[in-house]
Amino acid sequence: MSDNKCILVTGGAGYIGSHTVVELVNAGYDPVVIDNCANAVRASENGRPGSIKRIEKIVDKKIIYYDIDLLNKAALDDLFAKHSFIAVIHFAGLKAVGESIEIPIEYYKVNICGTLNLIECMKKYQVSNLVFSSSATVYGTPQYLPIDENHTVGSCTNPYGKSKYFIEEILRDVGKAEKDWNIILLRYFNPVGSHKSGLIGEDPQGTPNNLMPYVAQVAIGRRSQLSIFGGDYDTPDGTGVRDYIHVVDLALGHIAALKKVSTKCGLKVYNLGTGKGYSVLDMVRGMEKASGKKIPYKIVDRRDGDVGSCYAEVTLAQTELGWKSDRNLEEMCEDLWRWQTKNPKGFQTDNSS
């Protein structure tokens, strides 16, 4: 391994992490993945996640992987002693909004304490470049649209969003105290789709928390119909509008961010989205076109905390990172449908050999 290209990817077996690992290899980096598989299905052999095996097939290269929990400080210390990282991309953490409301203490412990352990190890081993996986949830209820990076943050509606906000604040303080640190906070909007190969994609356990995996499961017959929460919003068709971004575009945003931290940029914040709003019904129609299936749905009551519209202003990322999303709604749905049809049981589908 070429140590001058060695990148630590925490949570690299997950949905966004796995796609980013592929793009890291494509860009000439040497990713080292750690994951405790809380959000990923394990393979049946050697304890390696199914996503890592699929990544290796895509890039035709062995991926260094460790089963490490960020709460295990000793294991993390050993890892940093073994590799000379030039930067860290930090995805690891619990991520389900609904679950965070039910078990908030676990979310704060895992997401915040895990990040603190990571920061302490980075400082000890003089690794000062960090790209953090944040979220548009830090904005709370939009005060204006599109949402730019100057929008107020902190009025989060759930513990998951609060944990991301608290970590952002911690990293801001680190950046002020440690002048040699370079930190980029990437605020994601709504990732969808999968890799063109259909080998890796979003594999929710149990009932999907996000719209599009649920829609895809209805299309393939795993679920009978979709419940749309709210049909009376002040939007073109009454359903909620969100900024959906292809996961490969999102992954490429991390490559752009890595290049930025290498320029000694200090602390920067960027939205990663398309800048376009798509309604729930837009997404349903997109999946119907991609799948050739009729997707039954019913309109039900709104959920507490949901807003009518939320989409990004993305000019800053375009200007300063030289990055923009290139994949449209049709491609998002086509790639998601390819993943769903090739992997009806997610990573437990045995088609990777």
Distance of CA 295 to CAs 188, 246, 283, Å? 27, 21, 11
Residue 302 DSSP class: P
Side-chain half-sphere CA neighbours of 205 within 13 A: 12
Residues 6+ apart with CB under 8 A from 96: 160, 209
CB 23 within 8 A of CB 254: yes
Q: Is 108 a catalytic residue?
A: no
- Torsional class of 49: left (φ above 0), alpha (ψ -120 to 50), beta (otherwise): beta
* DSSP string across 95-145: --HHHHHH-HHHHHIIIIIHHHHHHHHHHHTT--EEEEEEEGGGG-S-SSS
Coil vs helix vs strand at 333: helix
Tokens at 190, concatenated: 């709504």
Catalytic residue among 160, 165, 188, 270: 160
| Cα 307 from chain centroid (whole Å) | 21
User: In what helix (H) or strand (E) does residue 32 lie, and over which residues does it extend?
Assistant: strand 30-34
Q: How many CB atoms lie within 10 A of CB 161?
A: 24
Residue showing tokens 């999968």: 194
CB 105 within 8 A of CB 28: no
Show which residues are catalytic.
Answer: 160
